Amino acid sequence: MVSLKPVHSLVAGVMGEAGQPRLLLKGTASPHTYQMRPSDARALAEADLIVWVGDAMETFLHRAIENLGSKSRIVTLHEVPGIRLLQNREGGIWEDDDHGEAHVDEHKGHGHEHDEFNMHFWLDPGNAGRIVDTVAEALIFLDPARTATWRANAAATRKRIADLHASLEARLAPVRGHAFVVFHDAYQYFERAYGLKGKGAIAVDPARAPSAKRLVELRGALAEHEIRCVFTEPQFEPDLVRTVIEGSDVRTAVLDPVGADTRPGPDAWIEIMRGLGDAMVGCLGRS
């Protein structure tokens, strides 16, 4: 069982022909606001392997997973060594040094304040590769007879990730210099991977609507920071974005970090990443 579609996709790639993992969050459901259903709880209890990002992302899963005790094998991705975590950024328009290398932090195991880290780390190709390896290790532990299959599937999935990364690097290079604002700060890993110029987010807390004061401040910041594009998301209220850009020549497009309309399966992670690239090139690239 896997909580989010892009992560589910990576797990599906490693499982291959052996079976489809169950996906918890479907459609436009946001991990920041989701409520568990009884069928979800039953599926969790029955799962041999549970892969989730962690309690700072899927807050709705925190207690349910705690209640499982040690019965199931649980992979909490934000605790996995080698997953690169970036610090959360604050404010409507981020401070420039929020992009600095000094803020990059390797995960140090238990005992850290994980609220300080941004949990959308599946949007980094390096982290996606690490997720793939971690899932392969878990499957080898659960079903060692198929070790060769898990290893081969993991290698093939990593190759697909690497190919996609190379094509996105080439595709996004021309729009690197153009500033944009996003709906919520879900794209820090994507921005870093491709050297993009994210300048701020509309929502402070993706579980809550931004205040009118914040929207007015953002409107004022558009010209100052030469914002070309304000990105909305299918999970959130598009009127808020329209309020921010009204009367300016700033454009808008949709970014979807969890793939609301993407078919679940091994291709979903690739399609979600490519979709982000397409939306950014489309909105930032026009002259």
Taking the least distance from each CB to Zn ion, the nearer of 32 and 158 is 32
In the complex, minimum distance from the CB of residue 225 to Zn ion, in angstroms, rounded to a whole number? 22
In the complex, minimum distance from the CB of residue 219 to Zn ion, in angstroms, rounded to a whole number? 23
Q: Residue 118 — φ and ψ, nearest 5°?
A: -80, 130
Kindly state the tokens that stand for 232: 């909305």
In the complex, minimum distance from the CB of residue 260 to Zn ion, in angstroms, rounded to a whole number? 13
CA distances from 12 to 24, 51, 120, 204 (A): 13, 11, 19, 33
Taking the least distance from each CB to Zn ion, the nearer of 206 and 210 is 206
CA distances from 55 to 79, 214, 219 (A): 11, 27, 33
Binding residues for Zn ion, rule: CB under 5 A, are 186, 206
* Strands of 88-226, DSSP E: 104-106, 117-118, 179-182, 197-201
Rounded Cα–Cα distance for residues 76 and 53 (Å): 6
Taking the least distance from each CB to Zn ion, the nearer of 150 and 183 is 183
Taking the least distance from each CB to Zn ion, the nearer of 153 and 262 is 262
In the complex, minimum distance from the CB of residue 174 to Zn ion, in angstroms, rounded to a whole number? 27
What is the chain's Cα-based Rg? 19
Taking the least distance from each CB to Zn ion, the nearer of 14 and 206 is 206
In the complex, minimum distance from the CB of residue 118 to Zn ion, in angstroms, rounded to a whole number? 9
Number of helices and strands (H, E) in the chain? 9, 9
In the complex, minimum distance from the CB of residue 113 to Zn ion, in angstroms, rounded to a whole number? 18
Rounded Cα–Cα distance for residues 151 and 138 (Å): 11
Residue nearest to Zn ion (CB): 186
Taking the least distance from each CB to Zn ion, the nearer of 59 and 72 is 59
